[in-house]
Amino acid sequence: MTIAIGIESHDGIVLAADRQITSDAGLKYYQEKVGHLPFDMRNGIFDYCYAYAGYPDAAKHVVSEIEERSRELDPARITFGVLKKCVQEVLEDAVRKYKKQMHLEMLIVISIWGQGCKFFRSKGKLLSPATEECLGVGDSSVVHFLFDNLLTTRKTLNHTIPLSIYVIKQAKEYIDGCGGQTDIIYITKKNAKGQGPLYTRLYERANQIEKQMSHIFDWTPHLVEYFFDKRRTNQDFVSSLAYFQREIMRIRENLSSHGLFEKSEPGGRPKF
């Protein structure tokens, strides 16, 4: 079992996944399941961002084939239709190659500089448009509950990035087979100058957000206890609430002071 999620908002798309993989022999190991393929060609810049759940060898093959075939495309004829067809053909060939071993689902974002980005989900050879997706954990009530109750209709990256980290944190804690570090890639549709799409990859920042969110949610039960405990006076509850507020503000200022999000150059590889 594993988890990979993708959420599109009006200003971008976020992809996130855990790192744990369980082999057929039951051995657990860790590797990244999100990635980025940039192409800076003569007449334009395009790239793919992806996350996957399933058979790692099949995922590696699909990514490698997408990269190889994309380099053979005519740079003067790059369109979303051409890039989608490239991905579709790779998936079809992978199904023929791996057959019953093709236990692979992917989230793929195709971006073209100055034109925007499109979000897709694949299962086997089927490639379809995506908006809010969760791979790998099956019909998990934990994930469904979090998606149904925490996603709003007015989504932004400032909302979906920490939400993605929190959902994966809960999956790692309560769902067997999920674990390891959380990896995040997000795609900003346009920056303040109207340029885009831009991609950014989070490493330690994702871990920092996860730790800070843990502090918030670890304190929440204490606040609930003070609210319902009749032995506590109103002043006790007000004091507890004030402490909770100070902690939230401290965490918020801490994340802001460390520069939570950094933009990388379009088409270039991020500075790790």
pLDDT recorded at residue 263: 41
Q: What are phi and psi of 134, to 5 degrees?
A: -140, 125
pLDDT recorded at residue 265: 38
pLDDT recorded at residue 154: 67
Helix (H) or strand (E) holding 111, with range, is strand 104-112
pLDDT recorded at residue 216: 78
140 pLDDT tier (thresholds 50, 70, 90): low
268 pLDDT tier (thresholds 50, 70, 90): very low
Q: Which residues contact 201 (CB under 8 A, 6 or more apart)?
A: 34, 36, 183, 184, 185, 264, 270, 272
- What whole-number distance in Å separates Cα of residue 241 and Cα of residue 264? 39
Does residue 259 register a pLDDT over 60?
no
For the purposes of burial, counting CB atoms within 10 Å of the CB of 229, is it exposed (0-12), middle (13-18) or buried (19 or more)? exposed
> What are 129's two structure tokens?
């448009």
Strand partners, 47: 38, 111
Average pLDDT over residues 123-139: 86
- List the chain domain ranges: 4-203, 207-257
- What whole-number distance in Å separates Cα of residue 112 and Cα of residue 115? 5
Q: What is the CA radius of gyration of the chain?
A: 21
260 pLDDT tier (thresholds 50, 70, 90): low
Task: Report whether 56 contacts 25 (CB < 8 A).
Answer: no
In this prediction, what percent of the chain has a pLDDT beyond 90? 39
- DSSP-derived secondary structure letter, 191: -
137 vs 75, which has greater pLDDT? 75
Average pLDDT over residues 133-152: 74
Does residue 141 register a pLDDT over 50?
yes
- What whole-number distance in Å separates Cα of residue 112 and Cα of residue 168? 29
Does residue 105 register a pLDDT over 90?
yes
- What whole-number distance in Å separates Cα of residue 39 and Cα of residue 1? 32
* DSSP SS3 for 123: strand
Q: Which residues contact 245 (CB under 8 A, 6 or more apart)?
A: none
Please state whether the predicted TM-score (pTM) of the whole model is above 0.85: no
- What whole-number distance in Å separates Cα of residue 124 and Cα of residue 193? 39
Give, in degrees to the nearest 5, the angle at Cα 35 between 202 and 48: 115
Does residue 137 register a pLDDT over 60?
yes
Q: What is the pLDDT of residues 183-201, one digit of tens each?
A: 999 999 987 677 778 888 8
Q: What is the pLDDT of residues 110-127, one digit of tens each?
A: 999 989 999 999 998 899
Q: What is the pLDDT of residues 31-78, one digit of tens each?
A: 999 999 998 865 568 999 999 998 899 999 999 999 999 999 988 889
38 vs 204, which has greater pLDDT? 38
Average pLDDT over residues 241-253: 84
Does residue 142 register a pLDDT over 90?
no
Q: Which amino acid is at 67?
A: E
Yes or no: domain 4-203 corresponds to CATH 3.40.50.620: no
> What are 72's two structure tokens?
């053979």
> What are 128's two structure tokens?
């379809």
Give, in degrees to the nearest 5, the angle at Cα 92 between 91 and 96: 115
pLDDT recorded at residue 44: 67
Mean pLDDT of the chain: 84
- What whole-number distance in Å separates Cα of residue 47 and Cα of residue 78? 11
